[in-house]
C-alpha cells in the first residue's frame, strides 16, 4: 500500500510541485494544515520558501512546530524542505534580526557569503556513507537549490557515550560549505528542492518514502 503523506500547508509558496512530485514518487498526498491529519500521516513534509521569520510565524499559526514535535516524539517521519529545513534549527538571522526556530538541532541559519547570492541553480552534494536519502545516486548528481541563507556550521555535539546515533550530514558548497541535508532518525531535511530537481529529486523522494513505516 502507498504510504500516506501530508504536505503541511501553512501559507508558504508553491505547494503544487511538492504535492505532485511526492505523489509521483509513490505516496498518497494530502495538502493540509489539519492537526489530526498531519499527525496521522505516515510522513509529514514541511515545505517553505521566503523569509525564515515569515515561515516561522506561518508555522506557529497552524501549530506546525507542535505537530513536528509530537511526531518526532513518537518516532514519526518528518521531511523539511528548503526553509522547511532551516526552521528546524535553533535560530535564523536575517537583516540583523534573530528569530527562534523549532530548535530540533542547534545551529544558526545565516546569510551565504559568496560573490553571487541567492545560490540559484544545480549543485552537487557530498553525502556521507550510509545515507539513505542519497542511496543509489552518483557523487556527481546535481540538485536544484534556491536560497540566500543556510546553516554553515553543524553544532550538534556527539553523545559522548556513543549511545545516540549521530545524524548524517550532507554538505554542499556555495562560497563556502553549508548543510545541504540532514538524516537524523525520523527527522530528515534538504536545503535543495527535491520536488524541483528532476529525476535526481524524484530518487531522493522515493528513498525517503521507502523509510516510512
Partner 1 sequence: MSVAVRVIPCLDVDAGRVVKGVKFQNLRDAGDPVELARRYDAEGADELTFLDITASSGDRATTYDVVRRTAEQVFIPLTVGGGVRTVEDVDRLLRAGADKVSINTAAIARPEFLREAAHRFGSQCVVLSVDARRADVPPTASPTAPAGAIPGSGFEVTTHGGRKGTGIDAVEWARRGQELGVGEILLNSMDADGTRDGFDLELLGLVREAVTVPVVASGGAGAAAHFAPAVAAGADAVLAAGVFHFGDLTIGEVKAALGAAGHPVR
Residue 95 annotated among the catalytic residues of the structure: no
Q: Binding to partner 1 (CB under 8 A): which residues in 128-167?
A: 142, 144-148
Q: Are 46 and 64 in contact (CB under 8 A)?
A: yes
Query: Pick the catalytic residue: 104, 110, 183, 195?
Result: 195
Residue 117 binds to partner 1 (criterion: CB under 8 A): yes
Residue 196 binds to partner 1 (criterion: CB under 8 A): yes
The C-alpha cell of 122 is what?
544545480
Cα three-residue angle 209-211-213, rounded to 5 degrees: 95
Contact code string over 174-193 relative to partner 1, x by CB under 8 A = x------------------x
CB 119 → partner 1: shortest distance, Å? 6
Residue 193 annotated among the catalytic residues of the structure: yes
Residue 94 annotated among the catalytic residues of the structure: no
Count Cβ atoms below 10 Å from residue 97 Cβ, excluding itself: 10
Nearest CB to partner 1, comparing residues 187 and 205: 205
Residue 50 binds to partner 1 (criterion: CB under 8 A): yes
Residue 61 binds to partner 1 (criterion: CB under 8 A): no
Q: Binding to partner 1 (CB under 8 A): which residues in 94-113?
A: none
Size of the site for partner 1 (CB under 8 A): 36
Residue 115 binds to partner 1 (criterion: CB under 8 A): yes
Q: Are 53 and 87 in contact (CB under 8 A)?
A: no
Residue 59 binds to partner 1 (criterion: CB under 8 A): no
Tell me which residues touch partner 1 (CB under 8 A).
13-14, 16-17, 20-21, 24, 49-51, 54, 115-124, 142, 144-148, 173-174, 193, 195-198, 201-202
Amino acid at each position: 500500500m502507498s504510504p500516506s503523506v501530508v504536505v503541511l500547508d501553512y501559507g508558504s509558496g508553491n505547494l503544487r510541485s511538492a504535492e505532485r512530485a511526492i505523489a509521483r514518487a509513490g505516496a498518497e498526498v494530502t495538502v493540509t494544515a489539519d492537526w489530526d491529519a498531519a499527525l496521522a500521516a505516515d510522513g509529514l513534509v514541511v515545505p517553505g520558501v521566503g523569509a525564515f521569520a515569515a515561515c516561522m510565524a506561518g508555522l506557529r499559526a497552524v501549530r506546525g512546530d507542535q505537530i513536528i514535535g509530537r511526531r518526532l516524539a513518537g518516532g514519526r517521519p518528518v521531511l523539511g524542505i528548503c526553509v522547511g529545513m532551516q526552521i528546524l534549527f535553533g535560530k535564523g538571522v536575517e537583516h540583523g534580526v534573530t528569530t527562534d526556530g523549532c530548535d530540533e538541532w542547534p545551529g544558526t541559519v545565516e546569510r551565504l557569503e559568496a560573490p553571487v547570492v541567492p545560490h540559484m541553480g544545480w549543485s552537487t552534494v557530498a553525502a556521507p556513507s550510509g545515507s539513505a536519502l542519497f542511496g543509489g545516486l552518483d557523487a556527481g548528481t546535481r540538485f536544484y537549490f534556491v536560497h540566500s541563507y543556510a546553516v554553515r556550521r553543524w553544532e550538534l555535539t556527539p553523545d559522548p557515550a556513543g549511545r545516540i546515533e549521530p545524524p548524517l550530514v550532507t554538505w554542499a558548497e556555495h562560497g563556502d560549505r553549508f548543510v545541504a541535508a540532514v538524516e537524523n532518525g525520523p527527522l530528515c531535511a534538504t536545503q535543495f528542492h527535491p520536488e524541483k530537481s528532476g529525476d535526481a529529486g524524484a530518487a531522493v523522494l522515493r528513498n525517503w518514502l521507502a523509510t516510512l513505516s
